[in-house]
Copies of this chain bind each other. A is one copy, B any other.
Amino acid sequence: MAKENKTRYALLGFLSSQPASGYEIKKKMEQSTNHFWREGDSSIYPILKQLLDEGMVTCALGNKESDKPKKVYAITHDGQLELQEWLKENPVYYPHRNELLLKIFFGWNVKTAISINHIENFRHIVKSVINDYQAKTHNVVENKLTQKQLYQYLTLKAGIIYSEASIRWCDDAIKLLKKRVK
């Protein structure tokens, strides 16, 4: 079975919300799905073109006021259907690789201080990510959200819960390792 390209569904999904250019989609991704889904700078344009050829999206040039070379894509009925079909299918759970854990796993080959350092660095990164999340959720009232906002909020919450779990593991691991080192 060929590996399916899922970027197309991400693009269709964003366009199902409102028409946008490739660049705008990329910016929106960075703001909203960055912690669980991101695309490279150049992967997005070829696939938009492909979707256009397949009739899943339409393309209109620029907005009338300015003459910027901007292509605004919009989803078609076929595109909506394909998106919905995909949304109904069971998602696949990739086992993701974690290089930090691999280094910890083999940590007995180096000084304990090195492993502790890796974990502390990771903890710093996660801390700053949590701040980001909190800025985005701190004035959210759960039962005042629109349907669309609720779903976005759920993915944000996933980010928070996983990050907090990371912090807990870091603290635990550092404590155990420091006990050994002294």
A148 lies within 8 A of B108 (CB) = yes
Given A157-B169, A169-B158, A180-B147, A87–B110 Cβ distance below 8 Å? yes
Q: Does A13 contact B (CB under 8 A)?
A: yes
Contact partners of A105 in chain B: CB under 8 A: 13, 32-33, 37, 151-152, 154-155
Instruction: State A124–B172 Cα separation when bound (angstroms).
Output: 27
B99 lies within 8 A of A114 (CB) = no
* Contact among B83, B103, B110, B125 with A109 in the assembled complex (CB-CB below 8 Å): B83
A94 lies within 8 A of B96 (CB) = yes
User: Which residues of chain A (92-150) have a CB below 8 Å from chain B?
Assistant: 92-110, 114-115, 118, 121-122, 125, 142-143, 147-148, 150
Chain B nearest CB from A27 CB (Å) reads 16
Q: How many copies does the complex hold?
A: 2
Main SS of chain A's interface residues?
helix
Counting contact residues on chain A (CB < 8 A from B), the size range is 35 or more
A151 lies within 8 A of B115 (CB) = yes
Q: Which residues of A contact B (CB under 8 A)?
A: 6, 9-10, 13, 16, 32-38, 80, 83-84, 86-88, 90-110, 114-115, 118, 121-122, 125, 142-143, 147-148, 150-152, 154-155, 157-158, 161-162, 164-166, 168-169, 172-173, 176-177, 179-180
Q: Give 7 nearest A-B pairs by CB, closest first.
A: A165-B165, A96-B96, A13-B106, A36-B98, A91-B99, A36-B101, A107-B151
